[in-house]
Structure formats: C-alpha cells, structure tokens
Amino acid sequence: ALGFDVRNRKARRMTASARHGLDLVHQFSDLQAHRNGETTTIVRGEGVHVFDAEGNRYIDAMSGSSCASLGFRDERLVQAMTEQAGKLPYYHLFAQKSHEPAERLARQLSAMAPEHLNHVLFANSGSESNDAAIRIVRAVNISRGKPEKRRVIARHAGYHGSTTLSASVTGQAHMRFGSDSVSPDVSFIPEVCHYRHGHDGESEEAYAARCAAELEAAILAVGPDTVAAFIAEPVMASAGCLLPPKGYFQLVDEVLRRHDVALIADEVVCALGRLDSPFGSTRYGLRPDLMTLAKPLTGGYFPLSAVLMTDEIYDTLTLESAKSGLLGHGLTYGGHPIGCAVASAALEIYAQADFRANLHATIATFERHLAAIADCPIVGETRNAGLLGALEIVADKTTRRRFDAMENVTLKIGRALQKNGVITRWTRETVNLCPPLVISEDELEVLFGALRASLDQVAAEVAHEVEE
Ligand code: PMP
C-alpha cells in the first residue's frame, strides 16, 4: 500500500510538473518565470532563424549562446558529424591513445594560431577550458619551484564560466552561485569601458594607462610572488561588448612581463571571425601565454573547447608528466571525435576567402545600422567589434544617467524584441547583439527594424524618466 501511495503521489506530482514544464531545471534563467509559464520552447532552426513550438519564427541575434556562427542547420557541419559518428563515435585521449579527428583539429588550430601558440588541449566547454588554463599556469609555477605563485587577477563584469574555478574568476557576483565570497586566490580589478569610466575629457590612451596602472597596483598589493595569471576577454562579450581602450593590452603586456604574470586570453566568444579577425588577440595585439576557445569552434553543434599554449608551457607539462607518469588532468569527453570532426569542418569554412569577404561586408552593414540606431533617446552609445555589438541604455544621453534598476528597462526591451521576432540577451545596462556570421543584409534590416520598434515602444513606456 505504501508503495502504491508513493507511486500515486509521484504520478500526481509528475502530471502537475509536466503541465508546468518543471521537470527541467533551466540554467541562467528565472525559474519562477518558468513556473509562470513563460517558456519559449525552440523546436527547429534554419539559417539565422529558430522556430518555437507555436510556430513563431525568430532571428536569433545571439547565435544561441554566441556559438551558432554558421547558423542553425549548416549541412556541411551536420554531414561531418554524421560521418564521424558512423566511423568512430567515441574515443578518449588517455593512456597513450589518440584519434585522427583530434590530431587533425590540433594541427589546424596550431597552424592558424599566433606563432608562439603551438599546442592544444581539448575540453568540452568554455568553463572547463578556463579551469584547465588556470590549473596549467599553477602547475607550471609549481614545477618552477614557485608554488605560492597561484593567484589569478580578473576583472569585474568579466564572464569566464560556471564551474567552481572559472566561476571564481567571473566578475559578476550574481553568477558565482553557491560561493558567496570571492576565492582567496583571486583578485578583481574594475572592468574597462571608456564610456562608463573615462573621466571628463580623458583620452582613450590616458584611460588605458590608468587601467594598466590599476592592474599593476593590484599585483603589487598582494605581491608579485603570489600572482600567477591575469585572465581577460579581448572584448568583454557578455558584459555588453566592453572594448579595450586604445593601447590597453600593450600596456597590460608590459605590466605582466615586469611581474612574471601569465596572460590567459579567454577567446571563448572572440575567436574565429566574430571580431573580423582570426582571434581577438590578433586584432588587439595581445601576446597570451594561454588562449581558450569554445563556442564557434563547433558552431555550437557539439560541446568542445580548446586551450592553446606556448612551447615553453607544453615542454614543462611534458617534463612533469614524465616524472609522475601522466599529466594529472583529463576529461572523458575532452577532444570527442564528433566534436573534433565538426570543428575541423567549421574551421575550413571560416578560412574560405569568400566567407571572409562576405563577413567583412556584413560587418560594414551591421556598423551602419548601429550608427543609425544611436539616435534613439534611450541609447547612450553603440559599440561593436566585428559582429559583436551592444547598445548602452541610458535615461539621459548628456549625463549618461542610468534608469532606476527597478524599471528593468533592458528586460522590457528584450521582451519587446522577442514579440517583434528577434531573440537577444541583455545586461542591466546593455542590449547585446551577437548574430550568426552568416546573417544577410536583408536579415540585418529586419533585425534593426525590430530593434528600433522595440526601443521606441519601451522609451514611450518609461518616458517619465527619459531626459531628451
Ligand atoms: N568565457 C566566456 C567569455 C564566455 O562568454 C563563456 C560563456 N558565455 C564562457 C567562458 C563559458 O563557456 P561555457 O558556457 O561553454 O562553459
């Protein structure tokens, strides 16, 4: 009888839960909103469009989660996955085993990477690749006889992942779920954004020098002997396309070399064409010791990430693993053959001359639309690097005053946009844009038409706060 009761209770609970779609715990999502029935179930994708269960079609102006650079059903990628699944659907890279898809992809990546980065370690996600990069820097310092040199410096508003270590260097407190305080091995410095933090009349170069001085002060405050790495996105993507001020990374490089601190470039979003260059590092002149890649690597079709490293780091890892018998790091699915096969196909597409020429033209159109939309009364600034962009939303364009947080203005814009057929993401201060690299001129026209309509709609709603 007891068993029957339990089954009955469970059956009743399951019916209710299925009705509300509560079996599934969503991620980076408002769980209460799901309980209230505000769930958009995506059933199909085609080019830059996705379709929901009700048959509505949307332009996905975020490429899913900044990964579907080639859109949502590229047959070449689907074929690469299918072929690999039919040949060797799984193998690992442990215990002196290897497979051809991982070897080929590593060769492709090191051939296209900056000259000093020639070795690739695979993982499944951006978070894991950043974890691995931090572990590697620490392991190298232990090998150099400097075990206390393990601290990481990161920036406020930066996003590096959702595993314990990558979350601990994420500068958005509300995303450090389950760990209220900052890790003792991490220091934060302010994010870089000339629009927000530049002083009146301060040039970008002067602001960059001030930011680099802040980094150096943070290193000196804890002692250079304790600092292993500085982790930074070339352009801070999820924070709302925060661009490095002119000359910033050159000055940062000097500071890091002076104090023997490694640079980890988190290129999880920036790499592979998004910024109109192979890597954010090539565009902005960074010389990272380690570089992490993920999202566009497989166009989002399979979880795969990579850590690129220098010869020196690779040699140290080799030496250490010879001593202990193995490299003390490994993931069952790190370098999965299906992921590697689809990534190889994606890299071949990104490298095609006509693909790059089209992208270049698309970016010019994107920039024209961004410039035009900057005249909206609640848009303080538009920013972009290639096809990564954002609108900074303000209540007063002259003083750059923000809206009262309670107004949830960017959430309102996001919701209006979705009603108008465009999916995007936002922060409290920005509306973010990261469309597939294959978006056409006509689709950009539609996207920006919907964006203008939504901005006008919300501006009218909050007119009492807006200073014209
Ligand atoms: N780094 C950056 C810059 C990111 O934007 C993200 C994901 N938004 C990550 C790391 C983490 O990647 P993942 O979600 O694949 O773990």
Measured between alpha carbons, how far is 137 from 290 in angstroms, rounded to an integer? 9
CA of 265 to the centre of ligand 1 (A): 12
Classify the phi-psi angles of 387: left when phi > 0, otherwise alpha if psi is within -120 to 50, otherwise beta. alpha
What is the DSSP annotation of 349-363?
HHH-HHHHHHHHHHH
CA of 127 to the centre of ligand 1 (A): 6
Q: And the tokens for 60?
A: 């996905």
pLDDT (tens digit, 9 = 90+) per residue, 262-284?
A: 999 999 999 999 999 999 999 99
The predicted pLDDT at position 183 comes to 82
pTM value? 0.96
Probe ligand 1: pick from 27, 63, 127, max atoms within 8 Å of CB? 127
Domain at 18-73+353-465, CATH from 3.90.1150.10, 2.60.120.260, 3.40.50.300, 2.10.109.10 = 3.90.1150.10
Mean pLDDT computed over 382-400: 97
Q: And the tokens for 115?
A: 């000259």
The phi and psi torsions of 46 (rounded to 5 degrees) equal -160, 115
The predicted pLDDT at position 184 comes to 84
Domain ranges within the chain, ordered by starting residue:
18-73+353-465, 77-351
The predicted pLDDT at position 466 comes to 81
- Does the CB atom of residue 294 touch ligand 1 within 6 A? yes
Query: Which of the two residues, 33 and 252, has the higher pLDDT score?
Result: 252
Sole residue written with tokens 């006889």? 145
**Average pLDDT for the chain:** 95
Q: Is the pLDDT of residue 261 over 80?
A: yes
Measured between alpha carbons, how far is 319 from 421 in angstroms, rounded to an integer? 55
- Does the CB atom of residue 126 touch ligand 1 within 6 A? yes
Domain at 77-351, CATH from 3.40.640.10, 3.30.428.10, 3.40.1280.10, 3.50.50.60 = 3.40.640.10
Q: Is the pLDDT of residue 94 over 90?
A: yes
Q: Which atom of ligand 1 is nearest to the CA of 295?
A: 15
CA of 240 to the centre of ligand 1 (A): 14
The yes-or-no answer to whether 18-73+353-465 and 77-351 have a common fold is: no
The predicted pLDDT at position 177 comes to 76
CA of 179 to the centre of ligand 1 (A): 18
pLDDT (tens digit, 9 = 90+) per residue, 329-355?
A: 999 999 999 999 999 999 999 999 999
Q: Is the pLDDT of residue 220 over 70?
A: yes
- Does the CB atom of residue 125 touch ligand 1 within 6 A? yes
Measured between alpha carbons, how far is 200 from 196 in angstroms, rounded to an integer? 11
Q: Is the pLDDT of residue 1 over 60?
A: no
